[in-house]
Amino acid sequence: GEDVEQSLFLSVREGDSSVINCTYTDSSSTYLYWYKQEPGAGLQLLTYIFSNMDMKQDQRLTVLLNKKDKHLSLRIADTQTGDSAIYFCAESRNRDDKIIFGKGTRLHILP
């Protein structure tokens, strides 16, 4: 079956790097996503990676994919208070296919 797992909470000091981890079970996953949900807001797509890539970097965000272990991570460099949110890992097999989401990791920023 299809399943996406991620830890529920992460606390990081302001200025440090945050690393949010995710594992998935579907070996047919082609697209892997990271979404951000700020309090009271809808989901915002942060970044995505294709399964034939190992890494993708976008400003402060770095996504690492270990396809063999089905492990995905999101690293946020120089974490700011504005990064406080719930981060969802997700996967889909194809374009326009349904997206399977994890339960979300709540990132808490310590002063």
CB-based contact 7:87 (threshold 8 Å): no
CA angle, corner 49, sides to 104 and 59, nearest 5?
85
Nearer to another protein, 37 or 84 (CB): 37
Residue 104 touching another protein (CB under 8 A): yes
Query: Between 90 and 109, whose beta carbon lies closer to another protein?
Result: 90
- Residues contacting 82, CB < 8 A, separation 6+: none
String marking each residue 36-65 x if it binds another protein according to CB under 8 A: -----xxxxx--x-----------------
Per CB under 8 A, does 85 bind another protein? no
The CB density around residue 42, as the number of other CB atoms within 10 Å, is 7
Residue 4 found at the interface with another protein (CB under 8 A): yes
Task: Find residue 31's DSSP bridge partners.
Answer: 50, 92
Token duo for residue 21? 């981890």
Determine if 68 is a binding residue for another protein (CB under 8 A): no
Instruction: Give the interface with another protein as residue ranges (CB under 8 A).
Output: 4, 31, 33, 35, 41-45, 48, 88, 90, 95-96, 98-104
